[in-house]
């Protein structure tokens, strides 16, 4: 009985180590994967469901990263900017894109754009933006592609906060678990 219990214990321990390792490594990932089997999380943000389909930190991507995000009615991204290009494809639902230039001392009053199923839009490098599910009746689901991952995000409290006061969040929430800072040469 003890031998069987130890075998079961070590098997479950090995399985949990492999699951954690494979979540943060391309080793052992099949070329074709089922999106519904990829882990999703809200990272403490109510109304958000985030899946990193292909990422730099999680999967070793060098030039692009792909996310699938779902926002429940009323949920939104923070007001933010980042030094990468970003492309959105709205898969379902509708909402509002708020966007302001990064020129000047603060973003200022943003432009508002209605976004809807089968629409697409791009965010230029460092433009301050926010995506908001303003539809009261259905989820907003978007496919997001960013360049130059992993993303370094600067978060604003409001549209009139100075750029220099925006708070850096790096690594970003979905990269934290697998992020490993480069080893510094101490010589």
Could you tell me the end-to-end alpha-carbon distance of the chain, in angstroms, rounded to an integer? 54
Q: From the annotation, which residues make up the binding site for Zn(2+)?
A: 80, 82, 86, 129
| Predicted local distance difference test score (pLDDT) of residue 100 | 97
Which pLDDT score, from 0 to 100, does residue 3 have?
53
Q: How confident is the model at residue 4 (pLDDT cuts 50, 70, 90)?
A: low
User: pLDDT, tens digit, for every residue of 69-103?
Assistant: 999 999 999 999 999 999 999 999 999 999 998 89
Higher-pLDDT residue of 166, 5: 166
- Residue 142: burial class (beta carbons within 10 Å; 0-12, 13-18, 19+): buried
pLDDT at 136 over 80: yes
Residue ranges of alpha helices (H) inside 53-179 are 56-59
* pLDDT, greater one: 86 or 62: 86
Q: Which of 130, 134, 133 is nearest to 161 (CA)?
A: 130
Q: Is 14 a residue whose pLDDT tops 50?
A: no
State whether residue 9 is helix, strand or coil.
helix
pLDDT tens per residue, range 165-180: 999 999 888 888 776 6
Query: Per-residue confidence at 30, pLDDT binned at 50, 70, 90?
Result: confident
Beta strands in the chain, from DSSP E residues, in sequence order? 48-54, 64-71, 79-82, 86-92, 94-100, 111-116, 120-123, 128-132, 140-147, 153-156, 167-169
pLDDT exceeds cutoff 50 at 35: yes
Domains in the chain, CATH or no CATH each:
34-175 (2.60.120.10)
Binding site: residue ranges? Answer: 80, 82, 86, 129
Q: What is the DSSP string of 45-71?
A: -TTEEEEEEE-HHHH--SSEEEEEEEE
């Amino acid at each position: 009985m003890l031998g069987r219990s130890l075998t079961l214990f070590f098997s479950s321990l090995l399985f949990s180590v492999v699951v954690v390792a494979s979540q943060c490594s391309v080793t052992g990932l099949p070329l074709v994967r089922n999106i519904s089997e990829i882990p999703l999380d809200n990272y403490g943000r109510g109304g958000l469901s985030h899946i990193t389909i292909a990422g730099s930190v999680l999967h070793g991507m060098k030039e692009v990263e792909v996310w699938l995000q779902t926002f429940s009615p009323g949920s939104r991204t923070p007001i933010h900017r980042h030094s990468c290009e970003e492309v959105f494809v709205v898969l379902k639902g509708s909402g509002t894109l708020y966007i302001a230039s990064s020129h000047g001392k603060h973003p200022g009053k943003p432009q508002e754009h209605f976004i809807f199923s089968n629409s697409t839009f791009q965010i230029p490098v460092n433009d301050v933006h926010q995506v908001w599910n303003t539809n009261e009746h259905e989820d907003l689901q978007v496919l997001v592609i960013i360049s130059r991952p992993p993303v370094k995000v600067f978060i604003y409290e409001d549209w009139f906060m100075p750029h220099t006061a925006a708070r850096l969040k790096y690594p970003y929430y979905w990269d934290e678990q697998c992020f490993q800072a480069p080893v510094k040469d101490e010589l």
